[in-house]
Each structure stands twice: as C-alpha cells, then as structure tokens.
C-alpha cells in the first residue's frame, strides 16, 4: 500500500488541482451560505429577544414579587433564561436590600435549585455555565455544588467553580476551598485561587493559619500572600511565626500583614524585616512601616532611602513624606545622609504629594536650625542637588550592594 504522497503524486498535479478547485468552490459557497443564514437567524432571534426583554421589564416588579406565578414562565426556557440573566445582572450592582429581595426571588422561583442541579449533573461547558450563574447568585446553598465543581477534571470548570465560591465571599466557601487545596494542592493558577480566598477569608482570616503552617512549596507562598492581604489585628501573635520563615514570600506576607496588627508589636517586627536580605521583603516592610505612621520609624525609613533597590527607596520616601510629623528635621536628615538617589526619591515623593510648599514654610518658620543651614536646605530643595562639597563626598560613598540605580 502506497503512502498518501505517492497517491497524490500519481494523481498528477492537473487532476489534483481539478479536484481541489471543486472543493474550494464548494467551500466558498458553504461559507457564504453559512454567514448569510446565520445572520438572518440572529437577526430574527435578537429581534424576538429584545421584544421579550421589553415585555418582561414592564412586568418586572410583578415577576420578582411572585404576583405573576413562577410556574407561568419557569417551564419556558426562553423566558427563564432572560429572567435569570436580568436578575443576575441586577444582582451585580444591587445594594443590600435589593440583593436580599433578588435572592429571595431566585430561591422562591427555583432558579437556584435548578442551577444547583445543573452544576451537579451536567458536564463540560454547560456545567461551567451553571457554576458561573450559581456563583453570581452568591447563595450559600450553592456552595456544596460549587465545591464539587472544584474536583472536575477540566481546568476551566475548576476555575469557574473557584470564582463562583469567591463571589459568595463567605467563610463556608473558604472552608471548602481550603479543604480542596489541602487535598489536591495547587491544581489551578495561583491568582484566581488567591482572589477567591481573599474574598472568602476576609471575615475569618484565622481559617488560613492551619493550612499555611502545614503547606509546602508554592502553595505555602500563595497562602502566605492571601494571609498578607486579609490579616487583621487579631492575628498579631500568630503572624510572628512567619517573620523568620525560610521562604521569602512568607516573610513578605508577614510584613504586609503586620501593618494590620497592633502597632507596638508590628513596629519591632517591621524594623527587623526592613533589613531583610531580599528586596521585596524590605519593600513590604517599608510600606507597612509607612502605613503605621509612627515617627519612631524615621531612622529605618531613612535607611530605606539608601537602599540598593529603586522601589524600596521610592516607598521609603513616600512613607517619610506621609508621616504626620514635622517635615523640616526629616528633610535635614535626608540631606545629611548625602545620598543622591535617596534625595531624588524624597523630592519626588514630596512633589507627588504636593507638599513642597509646606516644607518651605516649615523651613522658614523653624527656630531649631541656623540661618546658614536653612539656606543650604532651601537651596537643596529648590535645585534638587546636594551642595558641591557634599556631592563630591556622595560620589565617594561606596555602593555596597553594587546594584544601583
């Protein structure tokens, strides 16, 4: 038996081309017919749908209040789809009162039950659609069905279930997600998992702690990041165990989380994390220190201004500018450390916060600095450059990390 190429060759180009022409012309005809038929059908469908949406909108209040019996439209798939889609769209933007009303309607009309049934029984894209709709209802009774969706073989369906659980934003959903994660590990990309957990754990971040303690590898990092987002002062002491963790992501998460805890405790820990060898741990610590707004952080933040990493310098400058304390002494320190990059970052933060005028006024009114010193500081503020003799010194300061700028 010859190969396909031999058969093609035996046909000779002319005969092959002749057949190909027929195929191509038929394909052209079919494509054209498909486009035209599809357009015609869609035109008819959308005209019908629009008319129907309009009719249903007119009686919307009667529909959701149950004045019009649900049985009248529930068995008509076309009507049911439209009503569900209107209700879910309204749900996205509704306030608490309207949300409760819509949820009552979705329950009473059996739409939630139907979606739960579909989410459990259907497969493929239809299951995904049911999970998305169920998630959009944010109904707690949908959580078990959504949790089952997490165990689907198809990644897209797992993601739909995860996002749906995230939408419910309740601890019960967090429990389901964490149980599943504990069972199978990281079976979805990190970001959707983090988003869902942030939404669900906001109320009870303690739920995360046991799993973070026992998780390993990338999952530990992912959960640590979530912990950093949702931490509250109540977690204070529990967070301390992660400050010295071997994983830098977890140390960064602890630094992020510490800004939400008791200030005295956080201050000590963040001071320590601000000298971490990993830049993004230092960055997180500096941002959190800025968030605390404690003037005791000034020396650490000044140290941050001379950091080898650009982002750390910028955030340290922003934190310094954001402190609710006298600006003139801080500026004096910034000039004294004789770091061009640090000065530049500080002046940028000052300009971005539009506080240049305030600093100028403070410098003029200050009685703690000499006239000569004041002139020197004003000159630095206006020119953005260190005085000549000091700049020369600044050039001599070695770049220990060798990483600048």
Q: Footprint of another protein on this chain (CB under 8 A)? A: 13-14, 17-18, 20-21, 24-25, 27-28, 31-32, 34-35, 38-39, 42, 92, 125, 128-129, 131-132, 136, 156, 159-160, 163, 167, 189-192, 194-195, 198, 229, 310-311, 313-314, 341, 344-345, 347-348, 351-352, 384, 405
Q: Measured from the CB atom, is 56 or 169 closer to another protein?
A: 169
Q: Measured from the CB atom, is 294 or 390 closer to another protein?
A: 390
- Do residues 162 and 193 make contact, with C-beta atoms less than 8 angstroms apart? yes
**CB 132 to another protein: min, Å:** 5
Preceding amide of 405 cis, omega within 30:
yes
Task: Sort 239 into a burial class: Cβ within 10 Å, 0-12 / 13-18 / 19+.
Answer: buried
Closest by CA position to 64, among listed 38, 23, 94: 94
DSSP 233: G
Closest by CA position to 231, among listed 197, 266, 252, 204: 204
**CB 121 to another protein: min, Å:** 18
**CB 368 to another protein: min, Å:** 26
**CB 24 to another protein: min, Å:** 3
Q: Measured from the CB atom, is 158 or 338 closer to another protein?
A: 158
Q: Residue 356 and residue 359: Cα distance in Å, rounded?
A: 5
228-to-166, 213, 238, 308 alpha-carbon distances in Å = 17, 14, 12, 24
Q: Measured from the CB atom, is 63 or 147 closer to another protein?
A: 147
Q: Measured from the CB atom, is 84 or 267 closer to another protein?
A: 84
**CB 17 to another protein: min, Å:** 5
280-to-213, 251, 311, 362 alpha-carbon distances in Å = 22, 9, 9, 34
Q: Measured from the CB atom, is 56 or 190 closer to another protein?
A: 190
**CB 277 to another protein: min, Å:** 19
**CB 385 to another protein: min, Å:** 10
Task: Sort 197 into a burial class: Cβ within 10 Å, 0-12 / 13-18 / 19+.
Answer: buried
Q: Measured from the CB atom, is 30 or 244 closer to another protein?
A: 30
Closest by CA position to 118, among listed 160, 59, 87, 65: 160
């Amino acid at each position: 038996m010859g190969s396909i190429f031999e058969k093609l060759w035996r046909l000779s180009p002319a005969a092959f081309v002749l057949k190909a022409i027929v195929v191509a012309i038929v394909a052209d005809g079919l494509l054209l017919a498909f486009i035209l038929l599809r357009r015609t059908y869609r035109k008819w469908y959308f005209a019908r749908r629009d008319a129907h949406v309009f009719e249903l909108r007119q009686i919307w209040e009667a529909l959701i209040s149950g004045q019009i019996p649900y049985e009248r439209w529930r068995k008509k798939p076309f009507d049911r789809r439209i009503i569900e889609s209107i209700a879910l769209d309204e749900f996205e933007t509704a306030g608490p009162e309207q949300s409760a009303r819509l949820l009552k309607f979705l329950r009473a009309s059996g739409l939630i039950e139907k979606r739960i049934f579909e989410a459990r029984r259907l497969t493929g894209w239809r299951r995904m659609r049911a999970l998305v709709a169920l998630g959009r209802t944010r109904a707690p009774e949908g959580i078990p069905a959504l949790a089952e969706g997490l165990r689907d073989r198809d990644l897209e369906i797992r993601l739909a279930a995860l996002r749906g659980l995230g939408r419910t934003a309740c601890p019960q959903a967090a429990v389901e997600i964490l149980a599943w994660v504990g069972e199978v590990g990281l079976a979805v990309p990190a970001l959707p998992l983090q988003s869902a957990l942030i939404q669900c754990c906001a109320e009870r971040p303690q739920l995360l702690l046991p799993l973070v303690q026992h998780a390993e590898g990338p999952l530990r990092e992912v959960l640590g990041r979530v912990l950093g987002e949702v931490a509250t002062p109540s977690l204070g002491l529990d967070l301390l165990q992660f400050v010295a963790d071997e994983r830098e992501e977890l140390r960064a998460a602890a630094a992020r989380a510490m800004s939400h805890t008791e200030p005295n405790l956080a201050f000590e820990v963040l001071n320590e994390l601000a000298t971490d060898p990993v830049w993004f741990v230092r960055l997180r610590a500096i941002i959190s220190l800025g968030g605390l707004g404690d003037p005791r952080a000034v020396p650490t933040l000044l140290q941050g201004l001379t950091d080898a990493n650009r982002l750390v310098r910028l955030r340290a400058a922003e934190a310094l500018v954001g402190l609710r304390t006298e600006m003139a002494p801080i500026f004096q320190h910034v000039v004294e450390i004789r770091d061009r990059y640090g000065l530049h970052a500080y002046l940028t933060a000052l300009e971005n916060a539009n506080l240049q005028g305030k600093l100028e006024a403070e410098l003029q009114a200050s009685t703690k600095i000499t006239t000569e010193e004041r002139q020197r500081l004003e000159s630095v503020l206006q020119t953005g450059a260190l005085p000549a003799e000091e700049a020369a010194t600044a050039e001599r300061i070695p770049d220990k990390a060798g990483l600048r700028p």
